[in-house]
């Protein structure tokens, strides 16, 4: 039991007694209030002194073998994160926003854009030095910030480039030595840039923990059967990380080659995220060797379950960050529009009905951001994150949609036509509730 | 380093405040809800206890007394008085909002003093229990329209006017009164004055009967040729039309996260109790699986919890900004707007979820649903917060976005 808890419970007992004294009609009748108060003061002081001393003992004992970082509530970014953020914001504003409309129209990212992103070096930055990358330490917060800033440029394009990054993350987090050695170098060198994670399936009430796609063991092979939905850059991906249910074991990841027999990819254009080049992946009796199980044979045990659960959390934080980034772009666009748009002789932002919608977008955007940041912070601190990621997803699913619909409403007819990016954001923000997988930090 | 957990060094304070809420407030919560206007004598003990805790614990204050503006922090991230106050009050209001508002020497007026007063005044008013008197019959949210006047006569200010809805207005030792030095000069001329009870000319003329927070007294106060020393004007007497409301409004940057903290504590009380009662009916909260395959009750509990977490984190953000000397007006209003409306919705929904048990006086759920409403009204209504936030986001003056 937690040391501080014990101390508090002990104090609680004392407080109950003190409260009884205070409540006693006798104290009042005997004119003892002053003395009783003195008693309470001294009692509380002693209890607090003892508690503080004991807590210090517990604290020094407990923290001695832990890193000293992250003991204070903190919203500031590291210098490195701030630098990356400045770069990516410029990239989002100068490269992505102008490219978004065309990519949406043709339902695919342009090669130019993919090359430009590759030059930013996000993938080597996600791989630790020990594995041949450039990262001193991998950080979920840093990746969350990347997702947020890219989604500020365009959520679909962000999805396209975060997919290979997610594939690499999975290898870094849970791959075994052979898998890392055979796959990571080509990503770090920039030879392979196209890969995707395939978790989401095309059925109502999809649950990433109750997959219909199966992986059944036959000798030294697994046979994969099922369908994966809304996979980014599906047609050009060389590698797919497929989530499948291993009977009697549970959901696990498999590293599958796009060209393996039985893998079929068809276009799956959707309401939004079109610029990601969405595809439906059909797995028809795809035979893969058993060393394609992510993490190797050890992944069949509890470590594999923990990894999969972790991946579910990391996906939720990633999509939450996407909701935050796109909502920020929407708010930044709506504000000057409402200030410039004149109706009834003055800017429409002078009307409370309009201004209050802006205020509400601001509040709920910040609400989403706080929940997402907290979940990511817990990932980096090695704290359990299931609850926080689930709550972040719950809130973002709802608020992202509201912000999307209110954004169009603020622009009126202009929000509905394709001259403005607002309608893209409306379509994209609806995806947050749908996408429960396919990315991971 | 993004890390949004309650810092280790404040966890002891949180636990201690929780023990007070659990063992002092909860047992007498219903008693003083029924006995409105009775003075909760347990609170004298509590004041002694709070003083004892901060004297013995050697750590930050759990109350508003510690809310000093940041004085020359020495680099590094600070989790200081704003955060500890918010966390402490969250716990106390988990116990009872009305009682928390009645803790001697922890009034909102104290927050005003610590926010605006100069060092000499801070010292002179140390240990004073101060209530806050802003609202008038003709000026609620429209606080620039205050009619109460302050006229300098020799070495004394002479106050005249009528104040209503003064929380702890009769129990406190002093009242911080907002008054104008010149009605023609608008906001900039509004200043705050410390008026000790017993000063001739100031009188409590009535105590309101209320729907909620009945353990807290809400007074109407009249000021007729009430004379106070010149030094009782908080801050400066200069009328700086550029700084506008600056001085007195600064108070709100500190007090709005505090009201958010009250809402966060109260909402958690309701959520926890609803969860316990529903748990007995077999409703469990699981943080996995689609929301739509859960029972409606479980899904609702999760949705409320997500909203509650958002308001809690917005409150901590506003407090963190203040602790680190970063301007936080927008965030203070955001935290107050979000936390208050969420607390109101949660407490009302929890009554519904628990049915007759939630609605009857057997449980405290119905009381919390009554208590929560005021949080979306005092220290600036929901609508005033939205106005402030919108003006900031849109870059509008109050003359443009009215």
Q: Which residues pair with A244 in a beta bridge?
A: A252
Give the side-chain half-sphere CA count within 13 A for A409.
13
Instruction: For residue A1, count other CB atoms closer than 10 A to its CB.
Output: 6
Distance of residue A374 Cα from the nearest chain B Cα, in angstroms: 5
Considering only A35-44, A357-366, B28-37, which range has the smallest mean pLDDT? A35-44
Alpha helical stretches, state H, B184-285: 246-279
Distance of residue A425 Cα from the nearest chain B Cα, in angstroms: 20
Per-residue pLDDT averaged across B17-42, rounded?
A: 94
User: Which of B45, B81, B318 best probes binding to A when mutated, by most A CB atoms within 10 angstroms?
Assistant: B45
pLDDT value at position A17?
53
* Cross-chain Cβ contact A359/B386 below 8 Å: yes
User: 3-class SS at A255?
Assistant: strand
- B396 inside 8 A of chain A by CB: yes
> Which chain B residue lies closest to A42 (C-alpha atoms)?
B52
- Any idea where the domains of chain B sit in the sequence? 8-118, 122-232, 246-394
- B334 inside 8 A of chain A by CB: yes
Measure CA of the first residue to CA of the last residue in chain A; give whole Å.
Answer: 33
Of A49, A205, A363, the CB nearest to B56: A49
Chain B residues with CB under 8 Å of A207 CB are 289-290, 293
Task: Extract the tokens encoding B124.
Answer: 């002179």
* Cross-chain Cβ contact A207/B290 below 8 Å: yes
* Residue B358 pLDDT > 60: yes
What's the pLDDT tens digit per position in B106-121? Answer: 777 888 888 888 899 9
* Residue A33 pLDDT > 70: no
Distance of residue A110 Cα from the nearest chain B Cα, in angstroms: 34
pLDDT value at position B63?
52
Q: What does DSSP say about strands B202-207 and B156-167: parallel, antiparallel, or unpaired?
A: unpaired
CA distance B369 to B366: 5
Which helix or strand (DSSP H or E) is residue B151 part of?
Answer: strand B149-153
CA distance A424 to B22: 51
What's the pLDDT tens digit per position in B227-237? Answer: 999 999 998 88
Per-residue pLDDT averaged across B85-107, rounded?
A: 92
CA distance B287 to B314: 22
The percentage of residues in chain B with a pLDDT greater than 70, rounded to a whole number, is 92
Distance (Å) of CA B48 to CA A32, A118, A304, B38, B103:
14, 64, 55, 20, 10
* Cross-chain Cβ contact A73/B9 below 8 Å: no
What's the pLDDT tens digit per position in A262-290? Answer: 999 999 999 999 999 999 999 999 999 99
Considering only A64-78, A347-361, A362-376, which range has the smallest mean pLDDT? A64-78
- Whether A270 contacts A304, CB under 8 Å: no
* Residue A360 pLDDT > 70: yes
**How many residues are recorded in chain A?**
441
* Model confidence band, residue A385 (pLDDT cutoffs 50, 70, 90): very high
> Which chain A residue lies closest to B83 (C-alpha atoms)?
A73
* Cross-chain Cβ contact A40/B9 below 8 Å: no
User: Which of A2, A79, A338, A367 best probes binding to B when mutated, by most B CB atoms within 10 angstroms?
Assistant: A367
pLDDT value at position B385?
97
* Cross-chain Cβ contact B292/A205 below 8 Å: yes
* Cross-chain Cβ contact A368/B9 below 8 Å: no
Of B3, B291, B311, the CB nearest to A73: B3
- Any idea where the domains of chain A sit in the sequence? 3-63, 79-192, 214-300, 302-434
CA distance B164 to B187: 19
Chain A residues with CB under 8 Å of B321 CB are 75
CA distance A411 to A423: 10
Phi and psi at residue B127, to the nearest 5°: 85, -5
Tell me which residue has tokens 């927070």: B213
User: 3-class SS at B227?
Assistant: strand
CATH number belonging to domain A79-192: 1.10.540.10
User: Which of A35, A209, A358, A370 best probes binding to B when mutated, by most B CB atoms within 10 angstroms?
Assistant: A370
* Model confidence band, residue A23 (pLDDT cutoffs 50, 70, 90): low
Chain B residues with CB under 8 Å of A74 CB are 1-4, 77, 320
- Whether B189 contacts B241, CB under 8 Å: no
Integer-rounded Cα Rg, in Å, for chain B is 21
Per-residue pLDDT averaged across A331-344, rounded?
A: 98
CA distance B145 to A168: 61
CA distance A333 to B276: 45
- B295 inside 8 A of chain A by CB: no
Which helix or strand (DSSP H or E) is residue B167 part of?
Answer: strand B156-167
* Cross-chain Cβ contact A48/B317 below 8 Å: no
pLDDT value at position B148?
97
- Classify B8-118 by CATH class: mainly alpha
Within 8 A by CB and 6+ apart from B294, the residues are B286, B302
Distance of residue A252 Cα from the nearest chain B Cα, in angstroms: 17
Within 8 A by CB and 6+ apart from A363, the residues are B314, B334, B337, B338, B389
Task: Extract the tokens encoding B327.
Answer: 């301007």
Tell me which residue has tokens 């709506």: A334
Within 8 A by CB and 6+ apart from A232, the residues are A159, A160, A162, A163, A196, A273, A276, A277, A278, A279, A438
CA distance A123 to A115: 13
Distance of residue B165 Cα from the nearest chain A Cα, in angstroms: 27
What percent helix, strand, coil does chain B show, rounded to 5? 55, 15, 35
In this prediction the ipTM stands at 0.93
* Residue A51 pLDDT > 50: yes
CA distance B263 to B282: 28
> Which chain B residue lies closest to A35 (C-alpha atoms)?
B45
What's the pLDDT tens digit per position in B211-224? Answer: 999 999 999 999 99
Q: What is the mean pLDDT of chain B?
A: 91
Q: What is the DSSP letter of B145?
A: G
Task: Extract the tokens encoding B80.
Answer: 């200081």
> Which chain A residue lies closest to B15 (C-alpha atoms)?
A8
Chain A residues with CB under 8 Å of B3 CB are 70-74, 377, 380-381
What's the pLDDT tens digit per position in A75-87? Answer: 999 998 999 999 9
Strand extents, DSSP E, A192-269: 195-198, 214-218, 221-231, 239-246, 250-257, 263-267
Alpha helical stretches, state H, B102-208: 108-116, 119-124
Distance of residue B286 Cα from the nearest chain A Cα, in angstroms: 8
- B148 inside 8 A of chain A by CB: no
* Model confidence band, residue A207 (pLDDT cutoffs 50, 70, 90): very high
* Cross-chain Cβ contact A11/B317 below 8 Å: no
Of A22, A73, A74, the CB nearest to B45: A22
**How many residues are recorded in chain B?**
402
pLDDT value at position A1?
40
Considering only A3-12, A104-113, B190-199, B267-276, which range has the smallest mean pLDDT? A3-12
Angle at CA of residue A351, ends A348 and A355, nearest 5°: 90
CATH number belonging to domain A302-434: 1.20.140.10
- Whether B223 contacts B202, CB under 8 Å: yes
Q: What is the mean pLDDT of chain A?
A: 89
Task: Extract the tokens encoding A232.
Answer: 């980014």
User: 3-class SS at B53?
Assistant: helix
Burial group, residue A30, by CB count within 10 angstroms (0-12, 13-18, 19+): exposed
* Cross-chain Cβ contact A48/B5 below 8 Å: no
- Classify A214-300 by CATH class: mainly beta
Chain B residues with CB under 8 Å of A73 CB are 3-7, 79, 83, 316, 320
Q: Which residues pair with A195 in a beta bridge?
A: A239
Domain B246-394 annotated CATH 1.20.140.10: yes
Nearest to B13 by CA among B53, B45, B42: B53
DSSP for A335-392, please give it: HHHHHH-EETTEEGGGSHHHHHHHHHHHHHHHHHHHHHHHHHHHHHHT---HHHHHHH
- Whether A107 contacts A275, CB under 8 Å: yes
pLDDT value at position B251?
76
What's the pLDDT tens digit per position in B319-355? Answer: 999 999 999 999 999 999 999 999 999 999 999 999 9
Of B2, B52, B56, the CB nearest to A75: B2
What percent helix, strand, coil does chain A show, rounded to 5? 60, 15, 25
* Residue B46 pLDDT > 90: no
Angle at CA of residue B141, ends B138 and B144, nearest 5°: 75
Please give the model's pTM, rounded to 2 decimal places.
0.91
Distance of residue A183 Cα from the nearest chain B Cα, in angstroms: 31
- B77 inside 8 A of chain A by CB: yes
* List B203, B361, B379, B400, catalytic entry: B379
CA distance B224 to B200: 9
Q: What does DSSP say about strands B130-133 and B174-180: parallel, antiparallel, or unpaired?
A: parallel
User: 3-class SS at A60?
Assistant: helix
Phi and psi at residue B312, to the nearest 5°: -65, -45
Q: What is the DSSP letter of A212?
A: S
* Cross-chain Cβ contact B4/A374 below 8 Å: yes
* Residue B62 pLDDT > 70: no
Q: What's CA A413's distance to the chain center, in Å?
A: 33
The percentage of residues in chain B with a pLDDT greater than 90, rounded to a whole number, is 75
Chain A residues with CB under 8 Å of B9 CB are 71
Strand extents, DSSP E, B197-331: 202-207, 218-229
pLDDT value at position B59?
44
Phi and psi at residue A433, to the nearest 5°: -70, -25
* Residue B254 pLDDT > 90: no
* Cross-chain Cβ contact A368/B18 below 8 Å: no
Alpha helical stretches, state H, B39-96: 42-57, 81-95
- Residues B286, B289, B290, B294: is their CA dihedral positive or negative? negative
* Cross-chain Cβ contact A52/B313 below 8 Å: no
What's the pLDDT tens digit per position in B170-187? Answer: 999 999 999 999 998 888
Chains A–B, number of C-beta pairs less than 8 Å apart: 258
* Residue A439 pLDDT > 50: yes
User: 3-class SS at B123?
Assistant: helix
> Identical fold at A79-192 and A214-300?
no
pLDDT value at position B160?
98
Nearest to A319 by CA among A427, A378, A397, A384: A397
- Whether B312 contacts B266, CB under 8 Å: no
* Residue B250 pLDDT > 80: no
* Domain B122-232 superfamily per CATH: Butyryl-CoA Dehydrogenase, subunit A, domain 2 (2.40.110.10)
Measure CA of the first residue to CA of the last residue in chain B; give whole Å.
Answer: 39
Per-residue pLDDT averaged across B140-151, rounded?
A: 90
Chain B residues with CB under 8 Å of A52 CB are 12, 56-59
- B82 inside 8 A of chain A by CB: no
> Which chain A residue lies closest to B306 (C-alpha atoms)?
A391
Within 8 A by CB and 6+ apart from A110, the residues are A99, A102, A103
Active-site residue, B231 included: no
Of A5, A209, A359, the CB nearest to B288: A209
pLDDT value at position A21?
56
Distance of residue B329 Cα from the nearest chain A Cα, in angstroms: 13
- Whether B389 contacts A362, CB under 8 Å: yes
């Amino acid at each position: 039991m937690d040391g501080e808890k014990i101390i508090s419970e002990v104090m609680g007992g004392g407080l109950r007694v003190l409260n009884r004294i205070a409540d006693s009609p006798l104290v009042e009748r005997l004119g003892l209030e002053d003395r009783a108060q003195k008693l309470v003061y001294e009692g509380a002081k002693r209890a607090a002194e003892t508690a503080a001393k004991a807590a210090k003992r517990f604290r020094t004992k407990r923290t001695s073998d832990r890193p000293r970082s992250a003991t204070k509530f903190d919203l500031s970014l590291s210098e490195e994160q701030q630098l990356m953020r400045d770069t990516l914001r410029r990239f989002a504003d100068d490269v992505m926003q102008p490219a978004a409309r065309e990519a949406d129209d043709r339902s695919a990212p342009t090669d130019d854009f993919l090359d430009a992103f590759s030059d930013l070096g996000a993938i080597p930055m996600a791989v630790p030095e020990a594995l041949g990358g450039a990262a001193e330490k991998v950080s979920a917060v840093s990746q969350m910030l990347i997702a947020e800033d890219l989604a500020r440029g365009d959520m679909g394009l962000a999805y396209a480039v975060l997919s290979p990054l997610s594939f690499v993350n999975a290898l870094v987090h849970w791959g075994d030595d052979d898998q890392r050695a055979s796959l990571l170098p080509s990503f770090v060198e920039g030879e392979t840039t196209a890969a995707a994670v395939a978790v989401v399936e095309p059925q109502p009430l999809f649950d990433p923990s109750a997959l219909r796609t199966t992986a059944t063991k036959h000798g030294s092979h697994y046979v994969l059967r099922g369908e994966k939905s809304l996979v980014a850059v599906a047609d050009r991906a060389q590698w797919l990380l497929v989530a499948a249910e291993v009977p009697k074991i549970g959901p696990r990841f498999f590293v599958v080659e796009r060209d393996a027999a039985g893998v079929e990819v068809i276009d799956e254009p959707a309401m939004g995220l079109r610029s990601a080049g969405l595809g439906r992946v059909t797995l028809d009796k795809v035979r893969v060797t058993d060393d394609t199980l992510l993490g190797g044979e050890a992944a069949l045990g509890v470590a594999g379950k923990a990894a999969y659960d972790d991946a579910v959390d990391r996906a939720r934080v990633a999509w939450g960050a996407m909701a935050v980034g796109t909502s920020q772009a929407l708010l930044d666009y709506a504000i000057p529009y409402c200030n410039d748009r004149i109706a009834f002789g003055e800017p429409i932002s002078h009307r409370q009905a309009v201004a209050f919608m802006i205020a509400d977008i601001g509040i709920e955007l910040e609400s989403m951001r706080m929940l997402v940041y907290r979940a990511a912070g817990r990932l980096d601190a090695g704290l359990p994150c299931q609850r926080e990621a689930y709550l972040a997803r719950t809130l973002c699913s709802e608020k992202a949609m509201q912000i999307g619909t209110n954004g169009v409403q603020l622009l009126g007819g202009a929000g509905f036509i394709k001259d403005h990016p607002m309608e893209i954001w409306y379509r994209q923000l609806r995806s947050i509730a749908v996408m429960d997988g396919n990315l991971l930090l | 380093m993004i890390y949004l957990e309650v810092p280790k060094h404040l966890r002891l304070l949180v636990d201690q405040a929780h023990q007070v809420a659990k063992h002092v407030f909860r047992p007498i919560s219903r008693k003083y809800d029924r006995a409105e206007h009775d003075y909760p004598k347990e609170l004298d003990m509590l004041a002694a206890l709070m003083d004892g805790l901060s004297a013995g614990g050697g750590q930050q204050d759990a109350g508003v007394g510690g809310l000093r503006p940041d004085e020359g922090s020495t680099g590094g991230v600070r989790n200081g008085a704003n955060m500890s106050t918010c966390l402490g009050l969250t716990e106390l209001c988990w116990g009872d909002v009305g009682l928390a508002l009645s803790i001697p020497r922890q009034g909102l007026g104290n927050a005003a003093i610590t926010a605006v007063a100069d060092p000499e005044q801070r010292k002179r008013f140390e240990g004073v229990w101060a209530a806050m008197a802003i609202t008038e019959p003709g000026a609620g949210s429209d606080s620039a329209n205050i009619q109460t006047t302050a006229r300098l006569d020799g070495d004394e200010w002479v106050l005249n006017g009528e104040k209503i809805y003064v929380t702890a207005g009769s129990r406190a030792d002093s009242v911080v009164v907002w008054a104008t030095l010149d009605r023609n000069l608008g906001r900039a001329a509004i200043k705050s004055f410390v008026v000790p009870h017993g000063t001739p000319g100031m009188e409590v003329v009535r105590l309101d009967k209320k729907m909620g927070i009945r353990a807290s007294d809400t007074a109407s106060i009249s000021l007729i040729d009430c004379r106070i020393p010149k030094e009782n004007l908080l801050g400066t007497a200069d009328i700086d039309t550029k700084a506008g409301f600056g001085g007195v409004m600064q108070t709100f940057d500190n007090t709005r996260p505090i009201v958010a903290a009250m809402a966060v504590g109260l909402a958690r009380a309701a959520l926890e109790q609803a969860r316990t009662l529903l748990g007995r009916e077999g409703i469990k909260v699981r943080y996995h699986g689609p929301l739509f395959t859960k029972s409606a009750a479980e899904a609702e509990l999760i949705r409320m919890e997500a909203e509650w977490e958002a308001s809690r984190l917005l409150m901590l953000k506003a407090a963190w900004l203040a602790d680190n000397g970063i301007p936080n007006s927008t965030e203070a209003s955001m935290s107050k707007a979000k936390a208050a409306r969420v607390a109101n919705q949660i407490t009302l929904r929890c009554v519904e979820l628990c049915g007759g048990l939630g609605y009857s006086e057997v449980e405290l759920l119905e009381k919390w649903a009554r208590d929560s409403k005021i949080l979306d009204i005092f220290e600036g209504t929901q609508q005033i917060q939205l106005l402030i936030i919108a003006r900031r986001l849109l870059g509008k003056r109050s003359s443009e976005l009215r």
